[in-house]
Amino acid sequence: MIPLEDGFQDVIGKAARGLGLADEALARVAGVTADEVRRVKEGEFHEQVIRRLAPVLHLGGDALVALGKGEYRPRAVGTIPGFLAFNTHWADMTVNAYLVWDLKSREAAAFDTGGDCTEMLGAIRERGLQLQCILITHAHGDHIAALDRLKAETGAPAYVGEREPLEGADPFVAGREFRIGSLSIRTLLTSGHSPGGITYLVAGGARLLAIVGDSLFAGSMGGGNVSYADALRNNREKILTLPLETVLCPGHGPLTTVGEEREHNPFFVP
């Protein structure tokens, strides 16, 4: 099982950075000591301190505590016909990539490449798929590490949102729709973690899929490195407004659903 990408301490750290709150300022507003803030951010679980920090950071206290106690994990999505997830190593982390295909035509699309596309290439050959395109969620190195190889061995073109130009990938304007056999793939601009992050909404298969890159994780979200406010807004308005049963396919960590994250993600619950 793929572990959660973030623990409670990561969520607290991302929120504090996004809001521009240093430890001393956060401690003063929350009514705790700066040392207590530092210890929590280092992974020491202290429920009372966490509950004091949560409202200051605009995080759901119950959801944050559940994450800290290890009580949250998204329910298993199960097998989805025409869909495979790949979890590969890159540096000191693991990263996800995905393969989606039309069951009749066998036409397929890849989403990101992960650190190594060997397993994906094997799946394409074993299932007799024809890779039509490689769709990049964002241009961070862990998501495109095997792009050259995947293109060379399949002949498929690569595409990336225009705000993150990438050598070897054709840029497109968010809102473009791709078609793979009977599947439609809508593109949504979900920037914030990166300048032009794209969420791909895949309809026409067994489940509605949203390949979200690092915009959103099970129980957390990307770092909001470019704009924390934009990251929160795009997640709320463009991803978490999708139907509750929509399967969310993040760049790191396990699969989840819109319903799970609206109920359990500390960034987005009351």
Show me where the domains of the chain are located: 8-68, 83-264
Please state the φ and ψ torsions of residue 111, each to the nearest 5 degrees: -120, 110
Nearest to 37 by CA among 51, 48, 53: 53
Q: Give pLDDT tens digits for 130-139.
A: 999 999 999 9
Q: Is the pLDDT of residue 270 over 90?
A: no
Query: How do strand 177-180 and strand 209-213 relate by DSSP bridges?
Result: unpaired
Q: Give pLDDT tens digits for 216-250.
A: 999 999 999 899 999 999 999 999 999 999 999 99
Q: Is the pTM of this model over 0.75?
A: yes
Task: Note the CATH architecture for domain 8-68.
Answer: Orthogonal Bundle (1.10)
Asked if residue 220 lies in contact with residue 267, where contact means CB atoms within 8 angstroms, the answer is yes
- Residue 155 to residue 149: CA distance in whole angstroms: 10
The topology (CATH level 3) of 83-264 is Metallo-beta-lactamase; Chain A (3.60.15)
Q: Give pLDDT tens digits for 77-133.
A: 999 999 999 999 999 999 999 999 999 999 999 999 999 999 999 999 999 999 999
